């Protein structure tokens, strides 16, 4: 099992097995804290090999630099069933699109989203939550 894509985005959708992602990002910049981010999407594409056939339970957690939960861990329901139709199929992929609303960030810092399957970490998605400084307007998001 391998996580091919794991990102935060403005939106995403699964369109006939294709993962369509719009506006992937890794930073939120706020004028003041706490701040509530109104809407974003966690987009995942997971590849399974024949040895991964079976039932898989995926959990997503979101923690700050101190390991404190920003959101309660989410267990994706129902569990994902992976079955291979024949021995001629070398891999399968599944897309997961999780829409998130009104996420509250208490202070600036590094946030990490962890994707785990059957209690084994598959991917980590970092998110920088920063304070907007008036004099830095021309530097851009990477600064």
Query: What is the average pLDDT across 82-90?
Result: 91
pLDDT digits (tens, 9 = 90+) for 34-55: 999 999 999 999 999 999 999 9
Query: What is the average pLDDT across 56-74?
Result: 94
Confidence (pTM) = 0.87
> Sign of the CA dihedral 54, 55, 59, 60?
positive
Q: In what order do the strands lie in the sheet with 18-25?
A: 18-25, 2-15, 35-48, 92-105
Residue 38, in any domain of the structure = yes
List 10's β-bridge partners, or say none. Answer: none
Q: Tell me the residue range of the domain where 97 lies.
A: 2-133
| CATH (domain of 80) | 2.60.40.1930
> Sign of the CA dihedral 12, 15, 19, 20?
negative
Determine contact, residues 76/96, Cβ cutoff 8 Å: yes
């Amino acid at each position: 099992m391998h996580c091919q894509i794991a990102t935060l985005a403005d939106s995403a959708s699964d369109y006939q097995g294709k993962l369509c992602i719009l506006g992937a990002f890794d930073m939120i910049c706020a004028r003041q804290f706490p701040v509530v981010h109104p809407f974003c999407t966690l987009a995942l594409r997971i590849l399974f090999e024949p040895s991964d056939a079976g039932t898989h339970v995926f959990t997503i957690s979101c923690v700050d630099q101190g390991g404190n939960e920003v959101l309660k861990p989410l267990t994706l329901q129902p569990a994902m069933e992976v079955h291979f139709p024949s021995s001629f199929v070398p891999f399968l992929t599944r897309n997961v699109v999780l829409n998130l609303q009104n996420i509250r960030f208490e202070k600036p810092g590094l946030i990490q989203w962890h994707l785990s399957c059957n209690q084994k970490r598959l991917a980590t998605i970092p998110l920088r939550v920063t304070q907007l400084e008036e004099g830095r307007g021309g530097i851009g998001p990477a600064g």
